[in-house]
Amino acid sequence: MLKQNNQEAQIPVLSGSDVDHILYLAQKSHENYLISSDKTDLDTALVYYQEAIKLNPSISDVYYKLASLLWEKGDIDLNIAIKNCKKAIELDSRSANARLYLGYFLKASGNYKEAERSFKFSIKLSGFKSSKARIALGLTIIERLRQTTPQGSDFIKGMYYFLSGIVMSPCDFDIIKTLYKGCLEDFYLFFYKFKADFYKKLGKYQKTIKICKKAALITGRKDLFYSKIGDLYLEIQNSQRAADFYREVLVASPDNIVLWAKLADVLQTHDKNNLEEIIYCYNKLAVLESGNPGVFYELGHLYLQKEDRFSAVNSFKRSIELEPNNAFYHNSLAYTLVQLQDYDGAISEYMQAIRLNPDNEWTSIVCQALGAIYHQIKDNIDAAIVAYQTAILMDPQNVDAFMSLGEAYQDKNDLDNTIDCYCNAAKLEPGCPKLFCNLGLTLWEKGYIDEAIVAYHKAINLNPKYEIAFNNLGVVYLDGTRNPEEAIVMFTQAIKHNPNYALAYYNKGRAYHTLKNKTDAAKYYQMAIDINIITEEIDECEVQERLHSLFAVI
């Protein structure tokens, strides 16, 4: 397909009434283009044809000729080209060329049966001057056989039309160069693709690559054969070479949507660190497929990986504009808005995703995310509880939702509901150490000391390096059972597994303080103060007061 020529055609001033003269000039420019392939001649012919159709819209020939040039230039799609050819036939049902071009465009669209009927009609109308229609019909039949189960009689019929067209070509002096070239190109394409596929099936990959390179040179279809080479390299797991061939094709064919998608897929699968080029590929796809919301959705996630959150927001918003009822797009936008601290916007998008609810289990997770914003950011415990409860209704197996709901109740000081939530979660996932650690804290706050000790030991059994559980269990022994010696053992384990745990040092100092061991108490209080400068974990004033009280004169 030809690319748009930036140079404008230089057209002389026309009288506006001499339609025959305009058609003559159009035909002359058209013929010059067919001979020289000069894009300026193409643009000139287009201007004349368009002028002619304005002056007399009932001229049949102009419609299919104009359709041919506009399609070759890339300004119209196949559907419009087919429509123009049918318009030409309406104006002149005896136009063999209109039937011929209609068949050509039908074939290009994959409608082989209708294309064959149109070519046969053109042959009937053309008589001895049906060379091009016969060649086109023969190649269409052969092409159709490649897509279906081959029939011997059909193949013979295809070869008959193709060869008879070649034989009759001296009688058909007005053969259009582009159509003839297209037919010959189809023949070469069929031959080289068959040959390449044959050697590929034999496992002779280097021979296949050599054939494809030769075919690209002879046919000029670098896009097709270099793409096949790229596919072959991908199949033999040489992703780097595959990407190189895809890139080379895209330099010459920058509008090839399929190849941009292939290159992006190869890079995402085998070269994830090449984020800039992957984003570049999707930006190209976004231009070429501006109505495809999935492209913008993927692009948004790529921008998130790059930490370009503003571009991610724009991409997700575009995907939502194109497909407003896609819950996943709203969810991704909400997540990105959270990163930008636009919590109100995120809440709105999460609610929209929940309303659309494509799947209960997925929506349960979204409800949990919404609850986290209300709980941790907005400090709206009641709204958080509702969101977490909704998550559990959507998916009663959502352990995290039970834990989050328990934490919300705990912050509300509703300890009974907190314990219920953690117990329900424990039934679903009895191997979660954090769950038993949280339960131990709630039982301790409720005054259930023995039960708290059991819960903390359970957490430690599940995770023998769980410093928080060791520290909290030490607090229970120190302040609950008045057993500072056992408490020191627990605090020591907490410090062992986290040497920067300021709270554990402070609590160990308290235990020694209780035992009236002022030296060790002072030592651990001071260590807590030193570490806390970095971690900012505890109230330093409280530690300082305890440290001073050790040596205060009563």
Identify the domain boundary among 220, 249, 277: 277
Tokens of 49: 């044809």
Residue 226 lies in a domain: yes
Run means of pLDDT, 10 residues per run, the chain, 554 residues: 36 54 79 63 81 84 84 83 88 86 86 86 81 80 73 75 72 50 64 82 89 83 85 90 90 87 91 92 93 95 95 96 96 97 96 95 96 96 96 95 95 95 94 94 94 96 96 96 96 96 95 94 93 90 88 61
Residue type present at position 73: K
Instruction: Look up the pTM and report it.
Output: 0.64
The per-residue pLDDT for 37 is: 57
Residue 121 lies in a domain: no
Number of domains composing the chain: 2
Identify the domain boundary among 245, 277, 309: 277
* C-alpha to C-alpha distance for 138 and 142, rounded to whole angstroms: 6
Sign for the pseudo-dihedral over CA of 295, 298, 299, 300: positive
First to last CA, the chain: 98
CATH number of the domain enclosing 545: 1.25.40.10
DSSP 3-state assignment of 441? helix
The per-residue pLDDT for 373 is: 97
The per-residue pLDDT for 152 is: 65
Residue 490 lies in a domain: yes
Residue 353 lies in a domain: no
Residue 234 lies in a domain: yes
Residue 542 lies in a domain: yes
* C-alpha to C-alpha distance for 155 and 157, rounded to whole angstroms: 5
* C-alpha to C-alpha distance for 62 and 49, rounded to whole angstroms: 6
In this predicted model, what pLDDT tens digit does every residue of 401-425 receive, in sequence order? 999 999 999 999 999 999 999 999 9
The per-residue pLDDT for 149 is: 62
Residue 60 lies in a domain: no
Nearest to 494 by CA among 481, 482, 477, 517: 477
* C-alpha to C-alpha distance for 77 and 118, rounded to whole angstroms: 19
* C-alpha to C-alpha distance for 375 and 287, rounded to whole angstroms: 41
* C-alpha to C-alpha distance for 147 and 247, rounded to whole angstroms: 29
DSSP assignment of 299-323 equals HHHHHHHTT-HHHHHHHHHHHHHH-
Tokens 């023998």 belong to which residue? 464
The per-residue pLDDT for 391 is: 96
Residue 410 lies in a domain: no
Identify the domain boundary among 277, 311, 326: 277
The per-residue pLDDT for 10 is: 44
* C-alpha to C-alpha distance for 432 and 378, rounded to whole angstroms: 28
| Other CB atoms within 10 A of residue 341 CB | 9
* C-alpha to C-alpha distance for 468 and 440, rounded to whole angstroms: 11
In this predicted model, what pLDDT tens digit does every residue of 89-105 receive, in sequence order? 888 888 888 888 888 88
Angstrom CA distances, 397 to 364, 389, 394, 404, stand at 10, 12, 9, 13
The per-residue pLDDT for 219 is: 74
The per-residue pLDDT for 197 is: 84
Q: What domain range is 443 assigned to? A: 436-554
